[in-house]
Each structure stands twice: as C-alpha cells, then as structure tokens.
Amino acid sequence: MHNFVGAPMAAVFLGMFAFMAVATVAGIISEYKKRQMELEPLRTAIERGQQLDPAIIERLMAREAYQNQEIDPVHLRVGGIICIAAGIGLALLSPTVQVALPMWVFPLLGIGVLAVCVGIGLLVSARVVERSRARA
C-alpha cells in the first residue's frame, strides 16, 4: 500500500519542484528581456546620434537606483512573520495527514520547522540591519 500511495505523491512533489524551477528561470529571463527592450530604443538613438531626452534617461536610471537601495528591516520582519506562520501551519497540518499518508507526518513536520527557522532568521536579520544603521 505504501508504494501505491508513495509513488504518486513523489511524482506530485517532483512536479511541484520542477514547476518552481521553471517559474524561477522564466522570471529571470523575462526580467532580462524586459530590461533589454527598455534599453534598445535608447541604444539605437545613441547609434544614430539623436538628441536624448533627459526625462527618459532619468527614468531609466531611477530603476537602477531603486535596485541599489538598502534593505528595509520592515520587509524582513514581514517576511519572517509570514514564514513563521506558514511553518506553524505546516507543523499543525502534519497530524491531520497521518490518517491518509502516515509516512509523510515527519517530513511535513520537518518542513514546518524549517520554515519557522527561516522566519526566525529573517527576524534576526531585521534586528541586525537596524543595529548596524543605528551605529552608522
């Protein structure tokens, strides 16, 4: 019975991780293509020797300045709270899975504990960023 239930579940988890990997790579490629399409008219205008509008250059540079901003501790705290809540939810879900899939109880509990640890790490990171800014 374990092989009958375990094989489809393994396929579901492998499919989920494959989807996450493809989605991540697709997002990176999409961002690269979008940035390339934004800069292409500027590049052709420079090659033709046309006068460049300062507003366009300012808008393109503002995006790079936004990417170089410092980390906001509030964002780290929000991410930490969400991770901790998700981890607690997964840990609480693990006993309910025991009826249908008893072999998934401890892995699900472990994933919940891992999510809680990541959330605690984010909260500690927020504290470290705040202290380093207070010293500077």
SS3 call for 111: helix
Domain contains 135:
yes
Does the structure show a pLDDT above 70 at 6? no
Considering the domain architecture, whether residues 64 and 91 belong to the same structural domain is answered as no
Number of domains in the chain: 2
Amino acid letter for position 22: V
- Contact, 122 vs 80, CB < 8 A? yes
Q: Answer whether residue 6 is part of any domain.
A: no
Residue from 87, 73, 78, 42 nearest 60 by CA: 42
What is the value of pTM for the model shown? 0.58
pLDDT of 128 > 60? The answer is: yes
* pLDDT per residue as tens digits for the range 12-52: 778 888 888 999 999 999 989 988 887 787 788 888 888 87
Is residue 61 domain-shared with residue 81, that is, in the same domain?
A: no
Section 123-130 average pLDDT: 95
pLDDT in tens, 58-91: 776 666 656 657 888 999 999 999 999 999 999 9
CB 84 within 8 A of CB 120: yes
Q: Given 34, 51, 69, which residue is the final one in a domain?
A: 69
Does residue 110 carry a pLDDT above 60?
A: yes
The answer as to whether 7 is a domain residue is: no
Residue 120 tokens read as 């605690």
